[in-house]
Amino acid sequence: MSLLSVENLVARHGLLTAVQSFSFAVEPGEVVAIVGANGAGKTTLFRAIAGVHAAASGVIRFAGVDVTALPPHKRVAAGIAMVPEGRRLFPDMTVSENLRIAGENGRRGDWSLATVLDALPQLRPLVGVPAGQLSGGQRQAVAIGRALMSNPSLLLLDEVSLGLSPIAVESLYETLAVLKASGETTMIVVEQDLDRALGFADRVICMLEGKTALEGSAAALTRPQIAAAYFGLGAEAGKVH
């Protein structure tokens, strides 16, 4: 059984349909990268899965349960956690406080403050520092740690490398690689860097105008194929295995 199943999802912003009859499934332990130009519908898709954007129609199932109408906090309790674009930490709260508040509102599991700091050792010397004083890379690490504190089965990572220095991006993906290797956390990653997406994910989905323009295993897809779908230069949407 798929961990996440999205069936004919439609999501709108007023009269604009941002996600159009979009369907895909994610298996337990899989890492899926979603790529596409600005305005392709990636973030709206994530927000709909997380429950912070209402679906106009379609069905979202998580672990076999229809969660389409569930509010965000109940989806967190079910095991869905999102690291949003822009991190959105509490700037006046310390790193420790940002992490603990997520743990208090999540579900029980192996992730705790101690295990998160083990996975993200760069945060250990920063636990008493207000989040507003951190660098972009440090804030992103806190945002990931905060999501882990809710003990998710599914981690949604929206533009995690956006605005970071190359060194910070490399450090970030080293951390994500550890999570991937554990096989315990399923991940969907929105990533603008095509090479990074191909190198990290098991499967890549390219979105164009709210629809699937191309889908296939990361090993089978090439950068030119994705670039063509990215800009709508392909003949039709398709799948590459």
pLDDT (tens digit, 9 = 90+) per residue, 48-66?
Answer: 999 999 999 999 999 999 9
Mean pLDDT of 198-210: 95
- Model confidence at 201: pLDDT above 90: yes
Q: Domain residues for 195? A: 4-240
pLDDT, residue 236, reads 45
Question: How many Cα atoms within 13 Å fall on the side-chain side of residue 134?
Answer: 31
DSSP 53: S
Find the helix or strand (DSSP H, E) in which 174 lies: helix 166-182
Q: Report how many domains make up the chain.
A: 1
Cα 106 from Cα 100, distance rounded (Å): 10
Give backbone dihedrals phi and psi of 138, rounded to 5 degrees, phi first.
-65, -40
Could you count the other beta carbons within 10 Å of the beta carbon of residue 26? 22
Relative to beta strand 16-26, strand 4-13 is antiparallel
- pLDDT-derived band at 239 (thresholds 50, 70, 90) equals low
pLDDT of residue 108: 83
pLDDT at 207 exceeding the cut of 60: yes
pLDDT for position 235:
45
Q: Are 206 and 229 in contact (CB under 8 A)?
A: yes
pLDDT band per the 50, 70, 90 thresholds, residue 119: confident
- Check whether 187 has a pLDDT greater than 90: yes
Residues 73, 80: Cα–Cα separation, whole Å: 9
Residue 234 has a pLDDT of 58
Give the residue-averaged pLDDT of 218-232. 91
Higher pLDDT, 107 or 5: 5
Query: How far is the C-alpha of 148 from the C-alpha of 168, rounded, in Å?
Result: 19
Res 110 pLDDT > 80:
yes
- Angle at CA of residue 124, ends 119 and 127, nearest 5°: 125
Encoded tokens for 77: 């309790």
- Say if pTM beats, i.e. exceeds, 0.85: yes
d(CA 23, CA 20): 9
- pLDDT of 240 > 60? The answer is no
* CATH number for the domain harbouring residue 53: 3.40.50.300
Q: pLDDT-based confidence at 237, cuts 50/70/90?
A: very low
Please give the Cα distance from 82 to 86 (Å, whole number): 12
| Residue range 170-191: mean pLDDT, rounded | 88
- Map residue 223 onto helix, strand or coil: helix
